[in-house]
Structure 1
Amino acid sequence: MKFAKYLFIVVGVIFLTLVAIGIFKTDYQSKASIEINAPQSQVFAVYNNPLLYQHWMTNYQSLEQLEGQINEVGNKHRLSFTTGSGEISILEQTLLAYKADELIRYSYQNQWLEGTSTAKFERTDAGATKINLTLNYTGKGIVQNALLFLLGSTIDEGHQHNLEQLKKLIEESQPEQLEDSSEQ
């Protein structure tokens, strides 16, 4: 009986802690960066090409254009991803800022969260390109904020993994091959 009482207290404390986190911790930031041995214009072009997303974005399924034209500030599209359980997750994005070869900023939202994503591209002294990706986001409720708190390092690892896949795609391919694979 004593064991059940202590177990109940521990579970209760954990639950109340998560509720408190969900109430008071509402803003999150995820950062990832990578240096790619390729010209800035090539890195930007591959990163920004929806036909190549499937080659470097984990669990990417599709992109549906909703409004405007690609690379036009204000354009809206819907990205679909497969979750770990095999369900489809939808993310709607609106382009907030675009500067060719330098910057892409989106606002995004789905049923769980909303935020902004900023990708900055810089040429290094060695002639490579550095991508700095920053995501600022918040959950749409107490439960979502608590889950985001618990999953923070997994989210960071996921973005870093995607950038590593992008690096591999660019450094191991020729630009002509990338264009050919996007037409298939």
Structure 2
Amino acid sequence: MKTIKIILGIITALVVVFFSTGLIVKETTYTTEVSVNKPLEEVFASFNNINTVKKWIPELQSIDTLEVKPGKIGSTFKMVVNNNGEQVVIKEKVLAYVPNEKVTLNYDAGNMLKVDDYTFAYNNGVTTITNESSCTSNKYILSCLFPYFKGTFKQQDQGYLNNFKTFVEKQ
């Protein structure tokens, strides 16, 4: 009986910690970065070319333009991504666009809301792309879960930036 009480106590503590995570951590944030051995203008143009995104994001099945706004801010796109055999539709919206400096993208994948804030800097023949990401959810259970997957999210975004670097440097 004592063993059962200990096990139930441990399970209860773990459940309380898990559900408390959603109250304490409102968004999951992380930074990724890559340096590309190409001029800033070329890197920025390639990064924002929707016709080549599939070459450095392998899970991307398609990307369709829904609306293009003057200056690109407010433009929206529909992306279809293969997530382990399941097709996920993501709506992408451009929140900020400063040529050769910055692009901020908002992704709405149903229950996952993500903002990627990319900044571009050039120094001594190298363009550095820095991405400040934040993930939130409109579902409480997912908001409890996201902090535990921060490393996975960061690894995936870093992989995309590394793929982009390889793609651009081969051109």
Deviations 1:121-166 (A, max 9, x none): 1101x21100011112312122111111110011011111111111
Matched, 1:107 2:121: no
* Mean Cα deviation higher: 160-169 or 54-63: 54-63
Structure 1 residue aligned with 2:94: 95
For structure 1, the residue ranges without an aligned partner over 5 or more in a row are 175-184
Shift of 1:2: 4.2
Q: 1:141 aligns with which of 123, 139, 142?
A: 139
Give SS of 2:116's match: strand
Q: Is this contact kept in 2: 1:31–1:133, CA < 8 A?
A: yes
Question: Partners of 2:71 and 2:81 in 1: how far apart?
Answer: 21
Aligned CA-pair RMSD:
1.8
* Mean Cα deviation higher: 113-122 or 30-39: 113-122
- How many residue pairs match? The answer is 171
Structure 1 residue aligned with 2:125: 127
Q: Is this contact kept in 1: 2:30–2:154, CA < 8 A?
A: yes
Shift of 1:113: 2.2
Structure 2 residue aligned with 1:22: 22
* Ranges of 4+ aligned residues in structure 1 off by more than 4 Å: none
Shift of 1:49: 1.2
TM normalised by structure 2 equals 0.90
Question: Partners of 1:71 and 1:88 in 2: how far apart?
Answer: 31
Q: What does 1:1-184 correspond to in 2, within 5 Å? A: 1-69=1-69, 72-84=72-84, 86-124=85-123, 126-171=124-169, 173-174=170-171
Question: Partners of 1:159 and 1:70 in 2: how far apart?
Answer: 28
Shift of 1:108: 2.4
Structure 2 residue aligned with 1:180: none
Q: Is this contact kept in 1: 2:135–2:146, CA < 8 A?
A: no
Structure 2 letter corresponding to 1:32: T
Question: Partners of 2:21 and 2:131 in 1: how far apart?
Answer: 25
